[in-house]
Amino acid sequence: MNRGIVLLYSSLLFVSVGYVCSSAERVYPAATSFPPQILPSSQSVEPLWWQHTTIYQIYPRSFQDSNGDGIGDIQGIISRLDYLQELGVETLWFSPMYASPQRDIGYDISDYEAIAPEYGTMRDVERLIGEVHRRGMKVVFDMVLNHTSDQHPWFRESRQNRTNTKADWYIWRDGRGANGLEPPNNWQSLIGEQGWHYAKERRQWFFASYLAFQPDLNYRNTAVKNVMFDVVRFWLRKGVDGFRLDMVNVIMKDTEFRDNPFSLNPFPSLENPGGNFQFRQYSANHPDNYTFVQELRRVVDEFSSPQRCLVGEVFGKHDVLKRYLGDGDKKNDKNDKEKSREGLHLIFLFDMLFFDFNADFFRKQIVNYEEHYPAPLVPTLVFSNHDQKRSIGKIGNSLNRAKLLALYQLTARGVPTLYQGEEIGMTNAQMPAEKALDPMSARYTWLPAWLERQFPVLINRDNCRTPMQWSTAPNAGFMPLVLPTFDKSGTKPWLPVNADYKERNVETQQKQSFSLFSTYKQLLTLRKQHPALQSGQIHLLTEGIPSDVLAFERIGQGESVTVLINFSDRIRIVNNIIGEQILTTHPSMSIQNRAVTMPPVSGMVLTHTAPASDIIR
């Protein structure tokens, strides 16, 4: 196989979100009726906020420009907080706004305690945190602990020589071969490229788990760990409620720097995240990572009013991922004198980024998550993010089908994570790789556009990062119509606005009673009104249910909420349904004589009081 194609597959199927496994490779338990889980009495207490919240990801550069320079900013975000409150989301996750050269759009940080000037000032951030809290929502910041920018003062000093005060703040090694000009070992980056990069100043190699301009910090150095934990404390003191931890599973590496073993599989899989004929045994998911997140958890737990939250971007088999949660599924013995072994509060699970639009996929997903993340653990439900194709592209950009994805995501057991614009069905742009700002795309400019479109993941991540579509106004309302500071009439948005913005925008859908926006808003309202949807048990219904209809109930606090989703293009009838209809995705749906007639691609939510016998069956 051509090495370029192998590298392309390994890279594309493993960009930032971790492993991807084709549907043929996925292994699920049998799709049988899943019994409701009876929680121990210790779990009868009210769940913590992060266990039942809904997360909304904001990509600041593309959310709202307030000053007409074409770049979204903090003041723009503040101006849209009322919209987010009205929508009903509860936690806002902000992609990085720290000082940065912006070569990887903020994930290459040059100062963790400063704000990129194009976004605003520290005072702006402090006001943002306060305004979010004033509206009853939480703030989660992206935190990139694994690496910095190569323009960070620490790295600029570190690479100068082997004796400076930051000499061992990054992962440096002597090379192999004549004059040390060969890499220290065979470790590849997470995108399948050479992970080692030579610095002639030191005549040594540094390691970068992602791109060459993002050198990995050395957490075996206590000084590094201490200063980064202080960075975390810095933002917690400013009121941040938690962090989304970027690439947290590659922070600790093998101390002996042994070669990663060869793998016969060129593609990422459950057993081989990263692919490209290498199993990353020594450079990813090292056992010391589990200890590291437990240490980080203790730092975060220093701030307990309110409790703070850690959400990890980790990848691998579910048995591996679960270890990052520490003893989160157990109640620590108060007599246990060992240090707390609690790890991350949540981990992002990416199975649904590559969903199949049918009932069987989601039935198996429920079984899979209940097997690996039983209560009190909570899975996360993610369809899209800033690195991946928008989910609506997999369903022909159909707004009606997108309603069913929303219905599942906001009623199944788990913490839903929405990506900005998902609530109005924003589509993927079609910008070619050769015009990309995304540094990943430069590697694939040779790839024909028709072939690029066939891949399940994005070659050019700009295509999922286009400006938010607010209205039918020029530039979709992303930029102000009246420029408030000086004449910038020639300024354009940093990325082109999608061509469909006049049909798909917030302003238009807010006026439509059965729009996708309306469905999201109603579902988010229902989650707040019905405790069973926040923290109730989940029970698959299969008896008498058509095979292309997904049916489940959530049971908790004296009520049962039943969810019916018809994934087919045909009418389906579901009998023996009890409850009061509280939401439908189609105007002609109703329940009569305990029978629900479901139009093609439709869904319904019903509720009824659940006797104790129903809850414990």
CA atoms 293, 294, 299, 301: torsion sign = positive
Paired residues of 92 in beta bridges: 56, 139
* 499, 466 contact by CB (below 8 A): no
Residues in the chain: 617
- Could you say which DSSP state residue 216 is in? B
Q: Give the β-pairing of 346-347 and 380-382.
A: unpaired
3-state secondary structure of 87: helix
Residue 241 CB-density burial (10 A; 0-12 exposed, 13-18 middle, 19+ buried):
buried
Whether 230 is a known active-site residue: answer: no
* 3-state secondary structure (DSSP) of residue 56: strand
Extended strands (E) in 345-474: 346-347, 380-382, 415-419
List % helix, strand, coil for the chain (3-state, nearest 5).
30, 15, 55
C-alpha distance from residue 576 to each of 117, 294, 555 (Å):
60, 48, 18
- For the chain, the farthest-separated pair of C-alpha atoms sits apart, in whole angstroms, at 83
Q: Is 246 a catalytic residue?
A: yes
Please tell me which residue in 25, 82, 174, 302 is annotated as part of the active site. Answer: 302
Residue 179: CB atoms within 10 Å: 7
Q: Taking phi first (over 0 means left), then psi (-120 to 50 degrees means alpha), and beta for anything else, what does residue 142 get?
A: beta
Choosing from 90, 150, 246, 387, the catalytic residue is 246
Rounded Cα–Cα distance for residues 190 and 18 (Å):
8
Catalytic residues, by residue number, are: 246, 302
